[in-house]
């Protein structure tokens, strides 16, 4: 029996304009937990959602993400960023070294509101559903400029994702300069 050792930057990588996921340990490796390194681009919001049978763990490696993992007093509006729990919990601006554990059934989300990519380690248990989910969501993002919301919803229905607020990817526009260069 052998373990799995991957040097930095190694693993099967899926990349699109909105997704950059490197598979680190999968069901094919004998892992009961799927482990990924994920680069979250500026403007990406996974949307608030729950899973009925999965638990997840997120660890911010670089950058800053907005995170939440609680049942809000009310699931209102198109955005989760103003939600508050009965205990007063609010969205957290999480930097490198921050982590979030999400038990099954707990509403949660992450968003990169900064101008720089963020990088996180993401674990989902049990495997392999999130592995297939990432493969298919990358296909959807690679299909064209606009993301087909119906295709995303069908995918989420298949993989135990109960969406509460929409997935959004609104990349920050490139800066424009006026005047003469100095």
pLDDT of residue 177: 43
**pLDDT single digits (tens) 9-60:** 999 999 887 789 999 999 999 999 999 999 999 999 999 999 999 999 999 9
Distances in whole angstroms, Cα of residue 99 to Cα of each of 1, 47, 171:
31, 18, 24
pLDDT of residue 145: 67
For 137, counting Cβ atoms within 10 Å of its Cβ (0-12 exposed, 13-18 middle, 19+ buried), the class is: buried
- What domains sit in the chain, N to C, each tagged with a CATH number? 12-162 (2.60.120.10)
pLDDT of residue 65: 98
d(CA 178, CA 138): 36
pLDDT of residue 140: 84
| Residue segments in the chain with a per-residue pLDDT below the cut of 50 | 175-182
What is the number of alpha carbons within 13 Å of residue 164 lying toward its C-beta?
A: 23
pLDDT of residue 172: 63
d(CA 34, CA 168): 24
d(CA 165, CA 162): 9
């Amino acid at each position: 029996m052998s373990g799995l050792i991957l040097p930095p930057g190694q693993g099967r990588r899926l990349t699109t304009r909105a997704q950059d996921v490197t598979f680190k340990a999968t069901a094919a490796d004998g892992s009961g937990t799927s482990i990924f390194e994920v680069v979250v681009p500026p403007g990406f919001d996974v949307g608030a959602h729950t899973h009925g049978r999965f638990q997840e763990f997120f660890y911010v490696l670089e950058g800053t993400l907005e995170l939440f993992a609680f049942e809000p007093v009310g699931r209102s509006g198109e955005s989760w960023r103003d939600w508050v729990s009965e205990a007063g919990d609010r969205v957290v601006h999480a930097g490198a070294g921050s982590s979030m554990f999400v038990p099954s059934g707990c509403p949660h989300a992450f968003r990169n509101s900064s101008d720089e990519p963020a990088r996180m380690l993401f674990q989902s248990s049990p495997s392999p559903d999130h592995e297939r989910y990432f493969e298919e969501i990358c296909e959807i993002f690679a299909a064209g400029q606009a993301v087909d919301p119906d295709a995303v919803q069908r995918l989420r229905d298949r993989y135990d994702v109960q969406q509460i607020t929409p997935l959004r990817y609104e990349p920050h526009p490139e800066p424009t300069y006026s005047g003469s260069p100095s």
